[in-house]
A and B are shown apart, each in its own frame.
Chain A
Amino acid sequence: MSAKKYFSIIAVVTALFIGFLIFSPKWFNSYTITVLGNIYIFIVLAVSYNLINGVTGQFSLEPNGFVAIGAYVTAILLLSPDVKEELYMISEPLPLIRDVFLNPSVAFNPFLALIISGIVSSLIALTLAFPVFRVRGDYLAIVTLGFGFIIRIFLINNPSISNGSMGLDSIPGFASYFWIGIVSLITAILVFNIVYSKFGRAMKAVRDDEDAALAMGVHTFKTKTVAFMTSAFFEGVGGGLLASSIGSISPDQFTFMLTFQLLIIIVLGGLGSMSGAILGTFLFLGSMELLRPLDQTSWHIGFIHGIPGLRMVVFSILLLLLMLFARRGLFGNKEIWDYVKIKKKKRIEE
């Protein structure tokens, strides 16, 4: 694909999406808009999670940890010192924590806060990469899963930094529907460019055969580390968006459940497929909303009653069925337009 054609496609997609962002609040009711906003945040998370898990093939279970870091960093940066003095009930905030402040009403400051959250996340990812990528494969999963627990324990046990288990609230809500959409668009385009760059090819080489990649001169450790850091960066940004759009955060929001949902999304879309991750987010969060009655005791069809927690049983069975019978998900590790191209080719051959 020539560069000119590529940029024109991106320009068209951007224009269409921004148009949709502007007009959709007029078309849909506020409930749909809230769900859509949530979907955009999850697109940021799913696309970046897919980068390490699907594209680089390193099975990692880190999102909840980095999302929590991003959420807390954004919240601490955007809350003013006076508000923090009031919020920190268990113990006084550390002077450093109290004094850092980016006034959210100044233009670009919220975006600066998001970027700082991303950088903090990716620096932590860097320190985590050294022990983890020394060994191959499965250890990454356990260490990153443990990392999520450590972050939670850290947040609960350091009330002077994070206000302990009470969490933070009245976080400035700069992340309106429109801006969440813009950030997710930027993330999707950036990650897409990474995946289809020289570096992205190195990542895929590491996924497909690490030994062969090493023999061909790919610096596998560096590739894995950078992929991990990039993924952590965008997860931090997504965490910041989540904090701002919900308005209050506590350590209990960032449990393994979050990671599990993202895992279902990227498996559903096809590991390693960017468009799959985006479509998977829509499908998963959409069906989460549709199946909400399953959790409510008032709902029933015949003798089947809703039971609290039934929805997650359904989704874990869904993940199992996907893995057992449709391991490639929607698009495998290809993109949606690859299928269109294959069809065209076939037609020409005929």
Chain B
Amino acid sequence: MNTAFILQQIINGFSLGSMYALIAIGYTLVYGVLRLINFAHGDIMMVGTFLTFISLGILTGWKFEHISMAIFFTAVGISIILTAGVGILTHVIAYKPLLDKGAPKISILITAIGISFFLESLFNVIANQYLGGTYQAFYFPKFFSHIIHIGSLTIPVLTIITPILTILILLGLLFILYKTKIGIAIRALAFDIYTVQLMGANSNFIIGFVFALGSALAAIGGVSFAMAYPSIDPYMGMLIGLKAFAAAVVGGIGSVTGAVIGGFILGFVEVAIPGFLPELGGWKDAFAFILLIFVLLFKPTGIMGINFERQRF
């Protein structure tokens, strides 16, 4: 148990945590505006990784040996745009009609589950029929898996890039939310949707923008997951999505900074506990939910402490 080992764990935790953070932001944005758990968010992340995989395949002609950075980023860009579209589509097709009718929350949740299962089974069919199997290996430029040695630490480039990217995205988001016109509209919408509509803001556009933003970030998170654990399958979104939701609740759902903090905490827990107590390694996937249950027991509003309980639309 030396310092290098502890430092290594901290870096790994940061890296994993930033991936959770990227996905948790999407949950927190949608929850903040619509008070709705977007159950399909994890699967939208899966769609993002699959679209990246497919566009990489098309751009390289399904030969993955040498992927240049330009092609990789083009593929990721295409995927981000398409995934944002998918996010908006889920809202327009599935949530908006119910929200407009004033349907009870439980109906919207069931619809969200339906969307989630639809995306999973659709991509299962696509993967089986056109990609040749449920599980696919994910390829990316060699640069990201290049290992840097600092003292006795071994750090892949990806492990450094993801947290930096996440922090930059968080700063960008905070800028959008607090300094731009649409950000002010989003915050106003989270506060009181009807008054904002009366003030002449186009709430449909704003909600669509929130879904697009969340889905685009989910696509980035999904691609970084696929690069860290280079195998993708249509059912990957559910567990990762649930854990990211747990992270959002731990951080205080409705708060973007809270989502990132919650993501980092979850990443640390998932890396540190198996690191220091290897016999608990098999329980890795359960930590998020145990953490969630403890947070609900002792501080249901999460770390950033936003109380939505009594606030209604």
Contact = CB atoms under 8 A, between A and B. Distances in A.
Contacts of A310: 125
Interface in A146-183: 146-147, 149-150, 153-154, 156-157
21 contacts: A132-B293, A134-B297, A138-B36, A142-B245, A145-B242, A146-B242, A146-B292, A153-B286, A309-B121, A312-B121, A313-B121, A313-B125, A317-B118, A319-B110, A320-B111, A320-B114, A320-B115, A323-B94, A323-B107, A323-B111, A327-B98
A5 to B, nearest CB: 34
Q: Closest 8 interchain pairs by CB? A: A146-B289, A316-B118, A157-B282, A312-B121, A319-B114, A316-B117, A320-B114, A323-B111
A320 B118 contact: yes
Contacts of A267: 110
B103 interface: yes
A12 interface: no
Contacts of B98: 323-324, 327
B4 interface: no
B297 A320 contact: no
A130 B297 CA distance: 8
B239 interface: yes
Given A143-B293, A143-B296, A260-B113, A309 B103 contact: no
A256 B297 contact: no
A255 to B, nearest CB: 9
Contacts of A157: 282-283
A139 interface: yes
Contacts of B285: 149, 153
A146 B244 CA distance: 12
A120 interface: no
A138 B109 contact: yes
A120 to B, nearest CB: 19
A26 interface: no
B65 interface: no
A24 to B, nearest CB: 33
A323 to B, nearest CB: 4
Contact of A139 (B107, B129, B238, B249): B249
Contact of A131 (B103, B129, B282, B296): B296
Contacts of A307: 125, 128-129
Contacts of A312: 117, 121, 124
B90 to A, nearest CB: 10
A141 B112 CA distance: 12
A271 interface: yes
Contacts of B1: none
A118 interface: no
Nearest to B104: A57
A142 B114 contact: no
Contact of A316 (B97, B114, B309): B114
B66 to A, nearest CB: 33
Contacts of A263: 110, 113
A308 interface: yes
Nearest to A146: B289
Interface residues of B, number: 44
B150 interface: no
Interface in A203-229: none
A142 B242 contact: yes
Interface string B251-291: 00000000000000000000000000000001101101110
A327 B249 CA distance: 29
Contacts of B129: 307
B37 interface: yes
A286 interface: no
B146 interface: no
Interface string B74-104: 0000000000000000000010011000010
B122 interface: yes
Interface in A97-137: 130-132, 134-137
A134 B249 CA distance: 14
B242 A153 contact: no
Given A153-B282, A319-B110, 6 more contacts: A131-B297, A138-B36, A149-B286, A267-B110, A307-B128, A320-B114
B289 A147 contact: yes
Nearest to B97: A324
A142 B246 contact: yes
Nearest to A127: B293
A192 interface: no
A199 interface: no
A134 B309 CA distance: 11
A127 to B, nearest CB: 10
A312 B94 CA distance: 18
B70 interface: no
Contacts of B125: 307-310, 313
B117 A135 contact: no
B63 interface: no
Nearest to A151: B286
Nearest to B293: A131
Nearest to A156: B282
Contact of B121 (A149, A154, A316, A323): A316
Given A136-B309, A139-B296, A256 B106 contact: no
B300 interface: yes
Contacts of A150: 286, 289-290
A276 to B, nearest CB: 15
Contacts of B282: 153, 156-157
Nearest to A54: B106
Contacts of A139: 249, 296, 300
